[in-house]
Structure 1
Amino acid sequence: MALVANMTLLQSPAQARSTELRDPDRTDFECTLSMDKATRAIKAGMRSRHWSYKKGSKPGEAIGRILVRGKHTLWVTIKYDRKSFDIDYKDSDNLNYRVSDDGTRYLHPNAISWMENLRNDIRNAAYDMCP
């Protein structure tokens, strides 16, 4: 128990508020949508929590950005087709992003929750568009 307490004290404040970054799993839409409807579902899911949408550089790609309390910014890349979508971390400001020596990525746990919430919101928006 003392070892755990000592390890916690040795962490910097940024490390104490970071957790391993795992991008949300690829998610099915529950039906096959047209690309227009898939894009609309992505946009609708993003709007529900005030993410901004930008068209990506390729078809079936979007860039999302959320700004929280005017100082924490998270960018994600969303790749999608007619059946599913995938959200990947792109960049951030003031969210304790770091990569360890072994290549493990870390990010503030709130940002990871924001990505999961976005995933759920997009899935719900797409479900409403299913025939």
Structure 2
Amino acid sequence: MHYHHVLMALGVLLLAAGCASTRPIVNVTDAPVVVSRGNQLSTTQVRDAIIQAGRSLGWQMTATDPGLITGRLNLRRHAAVVDVRYNAKTYSILYKDSSNLDYQNGQIHKNYHGWIENLDRSIRNELAAI
């Protein structure tokens, strides 16, 4: 009987560990464009800052349409693709696609969140430097 409880506890721990490796996707939505001097930026300046921010972190950033940049990050065998929608006042970082990040039903590998947090921080820093 004791052996059965140990196996059951081990199974629960393994299941919990597997679930802990994925988390719900959280997008950055309508983050304000804030600059250090309080000046209003043009959409071109915002676009250029977003592209520079992503590239500085190894993202491939492509302006695909006015107000839209597609970013792709390849790390080892993993890839994340996001849409960055922007205007002169706000920007959003939205999940688009991924590979080898265990995406399923709105859940994704926990490392994805760190990559998005880093991209968001880098964008804010680039905008503030203008």
| Range of TM-score over shorter length | 0.7 to 0.9
Cα offsets for 1:44-98 (capped at 9, x unmatched): 1111101001122x310000000012x1100000000001100000000001100
Task: Give, as a single letter, the amino acid of the residue that structure 1 aligns with 2:111.
Answer: N
- The amino acid that maps onto 1:8 is L
Rounded to whole Å, the distance in 2 between the matches of 1:4 and 1:118 is 39
1:23-42 → structure 2 map (5 Å cutoff)? 23-31=27-35, 32-42=40-50
Give the distance between the partners of 1:83 and 1:4, measured in 2 at CA. Answer: 52
TM-score for the superposition, normalised by structure 1: 0.81
Give the ranges of 4+ consecutive aligned residues of structure 1 lying more than 2 Å apart after TM superposition.
2-13
Aligned to 1:114: 115
Task: Structure 1 unaligned segments of length 5 or more: list them.
Answer: 100-104
**Greater Rg by CA:** 2
Note if contact 1:27-1:123 (Cα within 8 Å) is conserved in structure 2: no
Number of aligned residues? 120
C-alpha contact 1:28 1:123 (8 A) present in aligned 2: no
For the aligned residue pairs, the C-alpha RMSD in angstroms reads 2.2
CA distance in 2, matches of 1:25, 1:94: 25
Instruction: Determine helix, strand or coil for the equivalent of 1:26.
Output: strand
Tell me which residue corresponds to 1:8: 13
Contact 2:28 2:93 (C-alpha < 8 Å) held by counterparts:
yes
Q: Percent of pairs identical after alignment?
A: 30
Equivalent-residue separation in structure 1 for 2:74 and 2:29 (angstroms): 23
Query: Alpha carbons of 1:25 and 1:6: their partners in 2 closer, same or farther (altered >3 Å)?
Result: farther
